[in-house]
C-alpha cells in the first residue's frame, strides 16, 4: 500500500515542475515580444497605423 503513494507523488511533482517550466517560458517569451515592440518605433507605428485604417472603413 505504501509503495503506490511515492510513485504517485513523483508523478504529481513531475507534472507540477513541467507545468511551471512551460508557463514560465511562455511568460518570458511574451515579455520579450512586448519589450521588442516597445523598443522598436517602426513596429509601434505599424500597429497604430493598422488600427486607424480599420476604424476608417
Confidence of residue 54 (pLDDT cuts 50, 70, 90): low
Provide the 3-class DSSP secondary structure of residue 24. helix
| CB proximity list for 36: less than 8 A, separation 6 or greater | 43
The pLDDT value recorded for residue 57 is: 54
The pLDDT value recorded for residue 1 is: 44
Residue 28 near residue 22, CB atoms below 8 Å: no
**Structure confidence by residue, pLDDT tens digits, 18-53:** 989 888 888 989 898 888 888 888 877 765 556 556
Confidence of residue 10 (pLDDT cuts 50, 70, 90): confident
Residue 36 near residue 43, CB atoms below 8 Å: yes
Greatest Cα pair distance, the chain, in angstroms, is 69
CA angle at residue 18 from 32 to 7, to 5 degrees? 170
Amino acid at each position: 500500500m505504501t509503495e503506490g503513494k511515492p510513485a504517485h507523488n513523483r508523478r504529481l511533482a513531475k507534472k507540477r515542475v513541467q507545468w511551471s517550466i512551460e508557463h514560465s517560458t511562455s511568460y518570458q517569451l511574451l515579455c520579450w515580444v512586448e519589450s521588442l515592440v516597445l523598443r522598436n518605433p517602426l513596429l509601434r507605428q505599424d500597429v497604430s497605423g493598422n488600427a486607424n485604417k480599420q476604424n476608417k472603413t
